[in-house]
């Protein structure tokens, strides 16, 4: 099921529904997509095995957890060696404040989304963390004023 065209209409409905609410029982999911609970169970397992569906998680409210400040940080490396990139990416994986990281094309090497408590928290993080890393040449930060759209749903 690696290619999009191998998904039938029921698979697509299952994926849409699970992206909205992964806590649905197989019976409830079956009602929503027009299939039996047993059929849905088999299809979900097949979609998981094919790598189309990943693990189930619950989304947390950043504000309720005291992490309401979203910062988008662009990072430029000193050098583009495999070792430097690997070392930096290990650093990224170890930092809980970094909730997303993308290796980029263009002027900047990485784009980070960082969830922090406040500006002082970000200042400590950027100065003692990102900018202190030996592979990092410089960084530019933008603070999100408000969230206009956020979704975890991929169009199916």
Q: Residue 139: beta bridge partners?
A: 75
Over 50: is that where the pLDDT of 5 sits? yes
- Of the candidates 90, 70, 68, 72, which has an alpha carbon nearest to the alpha carbon of residue 135? 90
**Span 18-43, average pLDDT:** 97
Domains observed in the chain: 4-49 (1.10.10.10), 69-143 (3.30.70.920)
pLDDT in tens, 93-107: 999 999 999 999 999
- Residue 3, pLDDT above cutoff 70: no
Tell me, what's the pLDDT at 25?
97
pLDDT at 1 over 80: no
Mean predicted lDDT score pLDDT of the chain: 95
Whether the pLDDT of residue 58 is over 60: the answer is yes
For residue 15, what are the CA distances in angstroms to 18, 19, 46, 95? 5, 6, 12, 31
Residue with tokens 């990092």: 136
Q: How far apart are CA 113 and CA 115, in angstroms?
A: 7
- For residue 4, name the pLDDT band (cuts at 50, 70, 90): low
Give yes or no for residue 2 having a pLDDT over 90.
no
Q: Could you tell me if 29 and 18 are in contact, meaning their C-beta atoms sit under 8 angstroms apart?
A: yes
Residue pLDDT, tens place only, 104-120: 999 999 999 999 999 99
């Amino acid at each position: 099921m690696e290619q999009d065209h191998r998904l039938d209409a029921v698979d697509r409905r299952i994926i849409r529904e699970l992206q909205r609410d992964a806590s649905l029982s197989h019976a409830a999911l079956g009602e929503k997509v027009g299939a039996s609970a047993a059929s849905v169970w088999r299809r979900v397992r097949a979609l998981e095995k094919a790598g189309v569906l990943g693990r189930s998680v619950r989304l947390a409210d950043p504000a309720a957890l005291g992490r309401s400040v979203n910062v988008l940080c662009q990072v430029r490396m000193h050098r583009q060696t495999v070792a430097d990139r690997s070392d930096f990416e290990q650093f990224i994986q170890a930092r809980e404040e970094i909730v997303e990281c993308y290796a980029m094309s263009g002027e900047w090497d990485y784009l980070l989304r960082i969830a922090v408590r406040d500006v002082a928290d970000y200042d400590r993080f950027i100065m003692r963390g990102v900018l202190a890393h030996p592979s990092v040449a410089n960084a530019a930060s933008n603070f999100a004023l408000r969230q206009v759209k956020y979704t975890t749903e991929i169009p199916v």
